[in-house]
Amino acid sequence: MTPMSPLPVTKAVIPAAGLGTRFLPATKAQPKEMLPLVDKPAIQYVVEEAVRAGIDDILIITGRAKRSLEDHFDRNFELEYYLAERGKSEELAEVQALAEIADIHYVRQGEPLGLGHAVSVARKHVGDHPFAVLLGDDIMDQRSRVLEAMIATHMERGSSVVAVKEVPTDELSSYGCIKPEAIDGVAAELVKILDIVEKPDPADAPSNMAVMGRYVLTPEIFDALDEVKPGVGGEIQLTDAIGILLQRQEVLGYCFTDGRYDIGRKIDYLQATVQMALERDDLGPAFEDFLVRLVRERGLLGDT
Ligand code: G1P
């Protein structure tokens, strides 16, 4: 059922059409994907991750306020002139490199009908090729090789591959959740997905393995998306289309543990910002000193 020699994965789709209501008022006039983590907008981490995995063609699905996204990955001659004049060569190189990072395309979702619908509008651009989907609420550490490993798995087996991670039971209702089955003779990180449910009640969840916003999908997903009826929240869910796909061809879960930052909610976003700042060579040590001082001053560790 799956193709004999899988095509390489050179395209990625990044849905960025959500309204970002959890981050209002910051997202009133800019997409949430432009919120910075330390000094880079979230979407830049996602684009860089795709590029690291060998992808050079990126389709960003936008909604309203797409202008800043486009501007971010475009030349800015005025700024470049200013930086060049003042001899700020490092900043200049960084700004220029952003416009060369990949072939970036934009398409509008039109109506916000859900993640599955956002992916379906990529059909024409993606064509008859496997492709990656990267969701911006999940940011991967620069050292993460999850997407590369997922693409390598697709190349070996021709299957769609979904990134999954174990989460506590009380968090399952925020995620797609899979029913995994071990496969003999393959790497332990890989499981066969027997079923997938969007945002289950934890009592009914098929396991604690939750979908983490990285997918490598075969183009057959588009037919499945056409068939899907509105699901959780009245939206066209990608999870439901994957549920149809796995009845027709093998869909694998790639299990990983580390290197993922959640930025979907304010508290997660704050935690991710702190963690990422601590990881930075240029900021980490000074920031750590500050945090230690803060903890002491506020007596956060009690008397111990
Ligand atoms: C989406 C998907 C869900 C997945 C999650 C990962 O949900 O629908 O299956 O587990 O991303 O972040 P959202 O966070 O958009 O509600």
Per-residue pLDDT tens over the stretch 270-303: 999 999 999 999 999 999 999 999 999 988 777 5
Number of domains in the chain: 1
Distance between Cα 302 and ligand 1 center (Å): 38
- Examine residue 166 and state whether it is found in any structural domain, yes or no: yes
Q: Which residue's alpha carbon is nearest to atom 9 within ligand 1?
A: 176
Distance between Cα 121 and ligand 1 center (Å): 18
Closest ligand 1 atom, CA of 176? Answer: 9
User: How many CB atoms within 10 Å of residue 51?
Assistant: 14
- Examine residue 94 and state whether it is found in any structural domain, yes or no: yes
Closest ligand 1 atom, CA of 232? Answer: 8
- Examine residue 17 and state whether it is found in any structural domain, yes or no: yes
pLDDT at 191: 97
Distance between Cα 77 and ligand 1 center (Å): 37
Domain extent at residue 192: 11-281+288-297
Non-local CB neighbours of 35 within 8 Å, separated by 6+ positions? 23, 26, 27, 41, 42, 263, 269
CA dihedral (125, 131, 135, 136) positive or negative: negative
- Examine residue 304 and state whether it is found in any structural domain, yes or no: no
Distance between Cα 176 and ligand 1 center (Å): 6
- Examine residue 259 and state whether it is found in any structural domain, yes or no: yes
pLDDT (tens digit per residue) in 57-72? 999 999 877 889 999 9
The residue written with tokens 């969701």 in the block is 135
User: How many CB atoms within 10 Å of residue 71?
Assistant: 11
pLDDT at 304: 54
- Examine residue 184 and state whether it is found in any structural domain, yes or no: yes
Check pocket membership of 209 for ligand 1, CB cut-off 6 A. no
What percent of the chain lies above the pLDDT cut of 70?
A: 98
When pLDDT is averaged across residues 172-197 and rounded to a whole number, the result is 94
Largest CA distance in the chain: 64
The CATH number of residue 18's host domain is 3.90.550.10
- Examine residue 196 and state whether it is found in any structural domain, yes or no: yes
The residue written with tokens 């095509």 in the block is 7
223 has pLDDT over 80: yes
- Examine residue 5 and state whether it is found in any structural domain, yes or no: no
Q: How far apart are the C-alpha atoms of 44 and 76, rounded to whole Å?
A: 16
Kindly state the tokens that stand for 135.
């969701």
17 has pLDDT over 70: yes
2 has pLDDT over 50: no
Closest ligand 1 atom, CA of 262? Answer: 12
